[in-house]
Amino acid sequence: IVHRDIKPGNVLISYNPLRVKICDFGLATTIPGEDYMRARKYTKHIITRNYRAPEVILLEPHGPPSDVWGVGCIFGELLGSVYPSSHAGLLLHGHSCWPMSPASSREHKVIDENDQLIKILEVLGNPEPDELEFIALPNTRGYVEAFPIYRARCLQGLYPDA
């Protein structure tokens, strides 16, 4: 099962005894195999924006790693809340999500500094050229290639007290 909406609001924690449970499986799907994942047509608007993995944003096939991405975002936010002098709040706080946003019906000419993918690149840096080969949609690949150069940030810089 792929949950497809891992975010803090869908994680339930009890402390006595300590248990963590995932809730709200409204967007969940099953993926029985690799071929099925490639052939499956997905709904575009899944996963709360600030927890979307790059492959979801780029409308590429996705699976369990997109849930792992969401968990990683949650851990980043937890670190920020435990160490207040560090990066606190949403780890990747974007306001738009091209090509998923409603504006995607027009050709995207201007790079929005608040685009969710830009927020990801500000932390992880730009992908290498061979990493762009998985992007199937030519307009999307061109969009990603046109981004300014971002260098990966050291997590110690984001969370200096951790």
- Just list the catalytic residues: 5
For CA atoms 54, 58, 61, 62, give the dihedral sign: positive
**Local structure of 45: helix, strand or coil:** coil
d(CA 88, CA 55): 25
* Length of the chain (residues): 162
Name the nearest CA neighbour of 54 among 120, 133, 143, 151: 120
Contact 31, 64 (CB under 8 A): yes
Contact 118, 111 (CB under 8 A): yes
For CA atoms 109, 101, 99, 76, give the dihedral sign: positive
Name the nearest CA neighbour of 31 among 23, 43, 39, 19: 39
**Amino acid identity, residue 35?**
D
